[in-house]
Structure 1
Amino acid sequence: MGTPPSSARPPGAWAERLARWGYAAALRLATPLYFLKLWRRGGAEPLYRAHWAERLGFGERTAPGALWLHAVSMGETRAAAPLIAALRARRPDLRLLLTHSTATGRETGRELLREGDAQRWLPLDTPGAVRRFLDRHQPIAGVLMETEIWPSLMAEAARRRLPVVLANARLSAKSARQGQRLRALLHPAAARLALALAQTADDARRLREAGVGEVQVCGNLKYDLQPDEALLARGQAWAAAQPQPRRPVLLMAVSREGEEAALLRAWRQRPEAGGARPLLLIVPRHPQRFDEVATLVRDAGFSLARRSSWVGQDLPPPEAWSAEVWLGDSLREMPLYYGLADLALLGGSFEPLGGQNLIEAAACGCPLLMGPHTFNFNEAAALAEQAGAACRVPSLAEAVTMATGLLAEPGALAQQAARARDFAAEHRGAAERMAQALAGRLPQR
């Protein structure tokens, strides 16, 4: 065999040690800034100011023998739910240790806990914090959701012979290119994974190139998520309760910074179409931005109604229906918003951010327009487009123009909604495939 090209040659042991030493030193120096950031975020989300000792690997011990599962934020935690259910079906005695990095992840994870389970923050990735975390909890194995590979954590797990699996794994072409710059640090960490359960064949290929030894393609867990039927029905009831003439509803789903301002400019300049004036509903991705987006709406000259102003009421108050823009400033109510909407724009796809989860919209039967940036869900976006469940547009301005026309054609929207539901149902089954692959990696009692 010939000598492999330098880009494919694994880094040497000394290069890795030096890279990990520099990485750990940088994290230690940045720790005060890290806690300052948490404190500031805690002003809007108080949970960030709780259980700080866990961020350094301290905190209350748990009984050894749990399966440790890390889901960084709300999206990953929700995706883990069908996998956890499938694992519990195979191992009813299974105890879980759930870790998270964000407040929304930890709040969402509480709903997955059973008696005997525990929940902690993932520690900062310094060698000392990681050792303390693993000493206190002694899990039987680790499952990291989607993209969470941490160099110090993987090195310490390997030293303890603790198997760690990357589930629902994805690696975009952009992330793979960026990872090459830190190859001496990330390649050995990836190589220490016992297994990666990839969403797509392209993800699997890139994961192997990044250093993972064993990879299986299992599909995307997010297809297995069933929308909350009560929330979906409530949204549909809100749509039916509108004063006449009914206004079609355009949803900007899980919007990111920069998108709302561009959307409001385009909404101001949208072309005239027949029928009632549409209602624009914006649901930001991050709760700490709710007030910021409300200010953007008012500064753009639109009247505003906020969902938080009628929490606890069965229906929106009459004055809400006269507003030009609604702000969905609530958590875990996306099925409600999809049930209310006639058409949605995919947040995160109109800026180079990779797009948000389009599968949830499809499962709720909400037609979708997506922008050019969907690298976080490339295969799902392509399949949705092929199935007629979603359409791609090059910019927000063009999306608003297309949406204005579609909202005047309820028959076409109904057909697209049916195609969206069929598309979501067709691709389910990843949870069972991943549970089967993981079952063989868990020590038997």
Structure 2
Amino acid sequence: MNHPSAKSWRDPFGSHRLGLWLADRHDRKNALMHRVAARWGWLKPMGERGKVVWIMAGPGRDSVRLAVELLRAIRARRLDIRLVLTYEHEYPEFLAFLDDCDKTGWGYAPCDHPAAIARVFERFEPFGVILVGTMPRPNLLAKLAGRAHLLGIDPPAAIDLAYERIYASNEAAAIQENLAPIADMKAILAEAQVDPNFKSLVNGNADRHLWWLHGASPGAADELAQALFRQAPQDVLFVSGERPQAEVISMSGWNREPPADGSVLWVDDHKWLPGIAAAVTAAHLARFDATVLWQAMAGGAALSRAPGMELPKAALAQAVTETTDVPALWLGYRAAPIAARNQADAARRLFWQERRQAEAVSRELVERVFEW
């Protein structure tokens, strides 16, 4: 299977000449010459000696975060190799964790033009390659074929590529060869021990329930808020994902004073999610997001999902209720708090089970690289 944007002229990491020319023009106009250089493969590993292990992250936030944590774990185990991380979108808050890593370089990925791919392989001469949450475009895919040391972490789709080992997060990948035990390493990234004072910060002296909605369309978020506040006008709703259409308080501008009854707070900064997960009575996923799923389960919220949403493992279904009527479910939890607590406890137990499995698989991955 080819990368979905491989032939698109809008892809700044593809091979379409018009798209690459437009990307170069944009970057030159904005004095981003380092992106132009990276696009055409003018990359160089840090340090002068040692095998090179190239870690490639995709465009997603989770992909880059997981790649950074993996790089740090490998660096802690092996000091002799040179490590390179490339990505398609820059997240400075994660890359800052690499500042204390010696013989480690990071930057934008090359495009998939044959000349760029040939150049970067000539300059890197990578001994090992690790793909994290990304699907190679056609020319890179061809270059990777037959490599002895090639690992796939959380591959987004099945592709015709012989991995040394695949570390998948979803049971749907079980048909692939060279598969490690299924475990989602993003569960390791969830903050499981959170300061409980966030709930007091939001509620002050008020006795009210907090709720969390993720991934709903703006209109659907507004409808849920209206239905909830008709029956529980004092409660507070957090919404992550798209901004609701109705009036909201943006978390990035929140003054940390208790919001008024019936307020909707839009979570426009991911740093608030651990605190929210630990403070709310329940959360609902209108759209699947693995990071949000594990954080909600770790935080101890009763969790529900939209009908038909597939979960990484079938066993999670017992703790992530399907519902078409979120307000009714939440109001039921208000009336029966023990039921909400039991549901939350079931989710938290499954989270810790997944986390332990992910930590074991992660150790196996790092040990494999150590043996290279």
TM-score (norm 2): 0.80
Shift in CA distance, 333/103, structure 1 to aligned 2, threshold 3 Å: farther
Instruction: Please give the alpha-carbon distance, in whole angstroms, between the structure 1 residues aligned to 2:211 and 2:233.
Output: 13
CA-to-aligned-CA distance 1:390-415 (integer Å, 9 cap, x gap): 2112x4xx123312322343332222
- Residues 55-94 of structure 1 aligned to structure 2 (within 5 Å): 55-59=39-43, 61-63=45-47, 65-72=51-58, 73-80=60-67, 83-84=70-71, 86-94=73-81
Instruction: Please give the alpha-carbon distance, in whole angstroms, between the structure 2 residues aligned to 1:243 and 1:31.
Output: 53
Shift in CA distance, 410/110, structure 1 to aligned 2, threshold 3 Å: same
Give, as a single letter, the amino acid of the residue that structure 2 aligns with 1:30: G
CA-to-aligned-CA distance 1:30-54 (integer Å, 9 cap, x gap): 3245568x87xx9xxx999973432
Shift in CA distance, 432/47, structure 1 to aligned 2, threshold 3 Å: farther
2:198/2:276 contact within 8 Å kept: no
1:83/1:431 contact within 8 Å kept: no
Equivalent pairs: percent with the same residue? 20
Instruction: Please give the alpha-carbon distance, in whole angstroms, between the structure 1 residues aligned to 2:205 and 2:190.
Output: 32
Name the structure with the higher helix share.
Answer: 1
Instruction: Please give the alpha-carbon distance, in whole angstroms, between the structure 2 residues aligned to 1:51 and 1:226.
Output: 31
Shift in CA distance, 297/358, structure 1 to aligned 2, threshold 3 Å: same
- Residues 224-263 of structure 1 aligned to structure 2 (within 5 Å): 224-227=188-191, 229=193, 232-233=194-195, 236-241=196-201, 242-253=203-214, 255=215, 259-263=217-221
Give, as a single letter, the amino acid of the residue that structure 1 aligns with 2:97: E
Match of 1:391 in 2: 321
CA-to-aligned-CA distance 1:207-226 (integer Å, 9 cap, x gap): 45xxxxx3333422123334
Which 5+ residue runs of structure 1 have no aligned equivalent? Answer: 1-10, 177-185, 209-213, 299-303
Shift in CA distance, 305/27, structure 1 to aligned 2, threshold 3 Å: same
Residue 361 in 1 paired to residue 296 in 2?
yes
SS in 2 for 1:268: helix
Q: How far 1:78 sits from its partner (Å)?
A: 3.2
Shift in CA distance, 262/102, structure 1 to aligned 2, threshold 3 Å: same
Instruction: Please give the alpha-carbon distance, in whole angstroms, between the structure 1 residues aligned to 2:125 and 2:43.
Output: 14
Instruction: Please give the alpha-carbon distance, in whole angstroms, between the structure 1 residues aligned to 2:327 and 2:31.
Output: 37
1:343/1:407 contact within 8 Å kept: no
Aligned residues: 359
- More displaced stretch, 430-439 vs 117-126: 430-439
SS in 1 for 2:154: strand
Which 5+ residue runs of structure 2 have no aligned equivalent? Answer: none
CA-to-aligned-CA distance 1:235-280 (integer Å, 9 cap, x gap): x313124134322111123x2xx6232121232244844x653211
Instruction: Please give the alpha-carbon distance, in whole angstroms, between the structure 2 residues aligned to 1:126 and 1:438.
Output: 31
Give, as a single letter, the amino acid of the residue that structure 2 aligns with 1:309: G
Determine which of 24, 28, 38 is the counterpart of 2:17. 28
Determine which of 378, 400, 404 is the counterpart of 2:312. 378
- In the TM superposition, structure 1's runs of 4+ consecutive aligned residues that sit over 6 Å from their partners are 20-25, 46-50
Instruction: Please give the alpha-carbon distance, in whole angstroms, between the structure 1 residues aligned to 2:172 and 2:253.
Output: 45
Match of 1:309 in 2: 253
Give, as a single letter, the amino acid of the residue that structure 2 aligns with 1:248: H
Shift in CA distance, 124/358, structure 1 to aligned 2, threshold 3 Å: same
- What's the C-alpha RMSD, in Å, of the aligned pairs? 3.7
2:52/2:82 contact within 8 Å kept: yes
SS in 2 for 1:119: strand
Instruction: Please give the alpha-carbon distance, in whole angstroms, between the structure 2 residues aligned to 1:412 and 1:431.
Output: 30
